[in-house]
Structure 1
């Protein structure tokens, strides 16, 4: 995505968009060949993206400046700008690269027979990339980079929903609902991973330190439902397991709703 800077005109913005799209689709048939401007190339786009991902994995997205990535590569900061327009575009490339790590089955490739199991493949592999790259939670998916990783995920979910016989608009709505739910929960889990890494303290330990709250400040009369559920064992599991249960429960119920709609359409 391109953010138009002060002094930039629409034509300059369009040029940078086209340059970024060429970078995103550089390995695909028919895509224009991206090249470094000016001097003879000494790096590759893949090296730059890999170095940026490594920095973000270790230190977070805030540390992933053009200067920091250039330092990792033993290059000058301005050298990177001959390959990538700027940090915003570099992050787009990073995001799309890690989305490709899901390696979702493409058209004609083997996949589970049951449609719900196919959705599970998407959910599990999406959670995995958020676990490996917790910084992914910081990037908005509202205006995504239009790269192969983004489109592969959309194509996969759309193909599942289309196979169920839903009307075209409901195919899109169902696919977007699943993607939004999975991304939101994966981002929340990534936030948990990030906090544990940066603080050195587990979430359960964090809650344990605040155990006095329940004896000193918690008012049973103001929170009767919470108290009843507590006494019935609803909160017995560690917080990490509660989060996992909530994620699984929500996805199951979402797919139950899709299944119910399939039955309605089929009548």
Structure 2
């Protein structure tokens, strides 16, 4: 699956669409569909069939209209991907409550939930992000929490980028196993069990002494499923990142 990139469409048209404009025409025949319906249909297709299956023609088929009618609302696939990505980020419904750390943990949990609900998000590179309300509301939420922590303005801005990068990157990696299980029908736990022969017959304890030492000390003892292990790793990484930020306040 090729990675799609946000921010690749016409800037002025994309930004207008992200923020609710331009308005629907008031004269002539009433449009068969709206921008919101186009975006919702595109998300539904990507949820069921993957981002690779999402095209203007496929979305038109989903809506039961001609492909050309979509271009009245959305210039093309590049702009549509921006609308889709920002649309699912709006689903986070971030609520400002608790300490600054608790609010950031809430942001992380809600972002992970979005990636689990829409695994195709891992196939969208947002290095050049869609500047819509879904993204911007999340950044405002993080910055408010970090400012309340006592960080200086420049530190808060840098910390926000670090947290956002970690959460989105880790959430995208987490859904890999989910997608593979759906495609192959094999769970991550089953995949690892089938490769036990590597550890039994091929792993070289002398070549990998540190791994061996940790293994013998119980470092790799698995509690629960692969998903449980991934969650513990996610929480550990986020916790240490927030510890570092907190340490800079002293």
TM-score (norm 2): 0.92
Maintained 8 Å contact 1:37/1:82: no
Q: Distance in 2 between matches of 1:37 and 1:173?
A: 48
Change (3 A) 1:167 1:38: farther
Q: Distance in 2 between matches of 1:65 and 1:35?
A: 25
| Structure 2 residue 17 is the aligned partner of structure 1 residue 23 | yes
1:146 is matched with 131
Q: Distance in 1 between matches of 2:233 and 2:193?
A: 21
What do you get for the CA RMSD once the two structures are aligned? 1.8
Give unpaired runs (5+ residues) of structure 1: 5-15, 106-110
2:180 is matched with 195
Q: Distance in 2 between matches of 1:243 and 1:17?
A: 37
| Structure 2 residue 70 is the aligned partner of structure 1 residue 80 | yes
Give runs of aligned pairs for residues 1-267 of structure 1, distance below 5 A: 3=8, 16-26=10-20, 32-33=22-23, 35=25, 40-105=30-95, 111-237=96-222, 238-263=225-250
Maintained 8 Å contact 1:22/1:33: no
Q: State how many pairs are aligned.
A: 243
Change (3 A) 1:93 1:155: same
Q: Distance in 1 between matches of 2:175 and 2:27?
A: 37
Maintained 8 Å contact 1:49/1:93: yes
Maintained 8 Å contact 2:19/2:132: yes
Q: Distance in 2 between matches of 1:21 and 1:180?
A: 22
SS of alignment partner, residue 73 of structure 2: coil
TM-score (norm 1): 0.86
Maintained 8 Å contact 1:23/1:34: no
Q: Distance in 2 between matches of 1:190 and 1:34?
A: 37
Give unpaired runs (5+ residues) of structure 2: 1-5
Change (3 A) 1:138 1:37: farther
SS of alignment partner, residue 92 of structure 2: coil
SS of alignment partner, residue 125 of structure 2: coil
Shift of 1:116: 0.8
Shift of 1:240: 2.4
Shift of 1:164: 2.0
Q: Distance in 2 between matches of 1:181 and 1:2?
A: 20
Shift of 1:242: 2.1
Shift of 1:241: 2.2
Q: Distance in 2 between matches of 1:36 and 1:172?
A: 43
